[in-house]
């Protein structure tokens, strides 16, 4: 991505020898916007990031994995600020343009000696590092890196111009984004105002990262950051260019969000639940969210059991307006329930065949209105329990 450099190294924060410290460096101060966790237990980097982002600019992003720097009190704040100072001094950027993020175990102090030696090593790799180096350094229990690159064109007085955009994310467990995801960084060469970028990012987040879940837990460290370097020819200044930028940003964010759910801890299946025919927009969200978060639904998905009672029951307790006599339920295009009535064993067998796929689409039509919403989620397997039982070992 033009205007951005990357590095990722093993600094010794993790014991397994994997990369654990990454950096994004902007050629010039970039326009910046961010969305953070709504969890009231917030990590030190989130507290500082919420203050720093008010300027609407950022030039360097330091991310460590293996330690969340959360529930670490005033010392955690001091350590985060110290990390910022080291980055600023090492790379020659203003301290108030440095963002830090952390992910990993909650409650342990940062091993600052690893940052003292690791950040200078990042500088040694910044000219040769790749986005993959950074994307690898921010992982915890993830099985795969998550990198997306896309472009879109806008028409200007100077002719057609291209917007380039790249997204990188980490997330596998502790995923119930109540803002964004565990950690996600979106970079673009477009030139856009801070207010327009903030509005676009907030809207994109709500439609994508706020519509996924792995296990129903909102992280203490969730950060979604977007940096617009302005090194390209595309200037986002009118409604038409804003629409193109918005669509591109939402597409990148949805791709990243989908990869996170697909890589969910112990997951074997990716599921989309769509609610149709809700009486209100809020009802569509409530019903979709309740079904996506239901442990009983998720275990039935893993067992490839079309247990429609669990799905309709989750909708019934969601707080949304529902009428059991009006519900229609489909697995892909295969109907299982119509007007609140089970269609029989053959329909269930057909649905069970659908559930053998790695990706499943379920639609619940409430037939009470015109509103629709959807969530992406994954199943629960034995491996989810094993991964989290051993997480701190």
Smallest CA-to-CA distance from 139 within 62, 64, 84 is with 64
Segment 31-89, tens digit of pLDDT: 999 999 888 889 999 999 999 999 999 999 999 999 999 999 999 999 999 999 999 99
CA 98 from chain center: how many Å? 21
Residue 138: the pLDDT is 96
Interatomic CA distance for residues 52 and 46, integer angstroms: 10
Please say whether the beta carbons of 87 and 115 come within 8 A.
no
- 44-52 vs 73-91: helix axis angle to the nearest 10? 60
Residue 391: the pLDDT is 59
Based on the domain organization, do 240 and 306 belong to the same domain? no
pTM: 0.92
Q: Kindly state the average pLDDT of the residues 324-334.
A: 96
Segment 176-231, tens digit of pLDDT: 655 445 799 999 999 999 999 999 999 999 999 999 988 766 677 889 999 999 99
Within 8 A by CB and 6+ apart from 136, the residues are: 8, 18, 19, 22, 145
Based on the domain organization, do 217 and 68 belong to the same domain? yes
CA dihedral sign of residues 136, 138, 141, 144 = negative
Q: Kindly state the average pLDDT of the residues 147-154.
A: 97
Q: The domain containing residue 114 runs over which residues? A: 4-262
Segment 364-381, tens digit of pLDDT: 999 999 999 999 999 988
Q: Using the predicted structure, report yes or no on whether residue 139 has a pLDDT greater than 80.
A: yes
Segment 48-62, tens digit of pLDDT: 999 999 999 999 999
Based on the domain organization, do 253 and 274 belong to the same domain? no
Residue 173: the pLDDT is 63
Among 231, 262, 293, which residue terminates a domain? 262
Residue 222: the pLDDT is 85
Burial class for 125, CB neighbours closer than 10 Å (0-12, 13-18, 19+): middle
Q: How many CB atoms lie within 10 A of CB 156?
A: 15
Q: What is the DSSP string of 167-178?
A: EEEE-SSS---S
Interatomic CA distance for residues 103 and 359, integer angstroms: 28
Based on the domain organization, do 345 and 311 belong to the same domain? yes
Residue 214: the pLDDT is 83
C-alpha distances in angstroms, 99 versus 11, 24, 27, 112, 330?
19, 10, 15, 17, 45
Based on the domain organization, do 52 and 125 belong to the same domain? yes
Based on the domain organization, do 243 and 372 belong to the same domain? no
Based on the domain organization, do 151 and 297 belong to the same domain? no
Q: Give me the CATH number covering residue 120.
A: 3.60.70.12
Please say whether the beta carbons of 265 and 381 come within 8 A.
no
Among 192, 227, 262, which residue terminates a domain? 262
Q: Which of 63-67, 156-160, 321-325, 358-362 has the lowest mean pLDDT?
A: 156-160
Within 8 A by CB and 6+ apart from 4, the residues are: 24, 25, 26, 27, 166, 187, 227, 229
Residue 180: the pLDDT is 47
Among 203, 233, 262, which residue terminates a domain? 262
Task: Determine the 3-state secondary structure of 74 from DSSP.
Answer: helix
Based on the domain organization, do 252 and 362 belong to the same domain? no
Please say whether the beta carbons of 98 and 60 come within 8 A.
yes
Based on the domain organization, do 213 and 84 belong to the same domain? yes
Q: Give me the CATH number covering residue 357.
A: 3.10.20.340
Confidence of residue 323 (pLDDT cuts 50, 70, 90): very high
C-alpha distances in angstroms, 216 versus 1, 173, 382, 383?
34, 9, 17, 16
Q: Kindly state the average pLDDT of the residues 149-155.
A: 96
Q: In total, how many domains does the chain have? A: 2
The two three-digit tokens of residue 230, written as one number: 């302005």
The two three-digit tokens of residue 92, written as one number: 């020659």
Please say whether the beta carbons of 246 and 154 come within 8 A.
no
Known catalytic residue at 181: yes
Strands 223-228 and 183-188: parallel
Within 8 A by CB and 6+ apart from 174, the residues are: 182, 214, 215, 217, 218, 219
Pick the catalytic residue: 181, 188, 208, 213?
181
Q: What is the DSSP string of 315-367?
A: HHTTTS---GGG-EEEETTEEEEETTEE--HHHHHHHHHHTTSSEEEEEEE--
Segment 217-276, tens digit of pLDDT: 667 788 999 999 999 999 999 999 999 999 999 999 999 999 999 988 889 999 999 999
Based on the domain organization, do 91 and 173 belong to the same domain? yes
Based on the domain organization, do 21 and 155 belong to the same domain? yes
Based on the domain organization, do 283 and 244 belong to the same domain? no
């Amino acid at each position: 991505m033009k205007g951005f450099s990357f590095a990722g190294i093993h600094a010794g924060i993790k014991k397994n020898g994997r990369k654990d410290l990454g950096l994004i460096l902007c050629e010039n101060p970039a326009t910046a916007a961010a969305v953070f966790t709504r969890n009231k237990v917030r990590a030190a980097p989130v507290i500082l990031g919420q203050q720093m982002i008010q300027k609407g600019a950022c030039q360097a992003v330091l991310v460590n994995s293996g330690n969340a720097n959360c529930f670490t009190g005033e010392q955690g704040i001091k350590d985060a600020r110290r990390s910022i100072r080291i980055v600023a001094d090492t790379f020659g950027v203003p301290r108030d343009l440095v963002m830090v993020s952390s992910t990993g175990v909650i409650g342990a102090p940062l091993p600052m000696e690893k940052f003292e030696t690791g950040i200078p090593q990042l500088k040694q790799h910044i000219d040769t590092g790749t986005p993959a180096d950074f994307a690898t350094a921010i992982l915890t229990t993830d099985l795969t890196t998550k990198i997306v690159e896309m472009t879109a064109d806008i028409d200007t007085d100077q002719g057609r111009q291209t917007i380039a955009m790249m997204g990188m994310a980490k997330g596998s467990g502790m995923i119930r984004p109540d803002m964004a995801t565990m950690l996600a960084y979106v970079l673009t060469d477009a030139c856009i105002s801070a207010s327009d970028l903030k509005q676009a990012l907030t809207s994109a987040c709500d439609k994508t990262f706020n519509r996924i879940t792995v296990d129903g837990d909102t992280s203490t460290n969730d950060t979604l950051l977007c940096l617009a370097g302005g090194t390209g020819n595309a200037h986002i200044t009118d409604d038409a260019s804003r629409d193109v930028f918005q669509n591109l940003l939402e597409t990148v964010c949805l791709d990243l969000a989908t990869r996170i759910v697909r890589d969910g801890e112990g997951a074997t299946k990716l599921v989309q639940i769509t609610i149709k025919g809700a009486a209100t927009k809020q009802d569509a969200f409530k019903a979709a969210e309740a079904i996506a978060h239901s442990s009983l639904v998720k275990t039935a998905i893993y067992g490839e059991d079309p247990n429609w009672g669990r799905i309709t029951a989750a909708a019934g307790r969601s707080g949304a307006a529902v009428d059991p006599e009006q519900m229609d339920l489909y697995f892909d295009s295969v109907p299982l329930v119509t007007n609140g009535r089970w269609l029989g064993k053959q329909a269930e067998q057909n649905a069970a065949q659908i559930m053998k796929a790695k990706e499943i689409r379920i639609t619940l039509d409430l037939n009470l209105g015109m509103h629709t919403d959807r969530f992406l989620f994954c199943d629960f397997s034995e491996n989810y329990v094993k991964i989290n039982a051993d997480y701190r070992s």
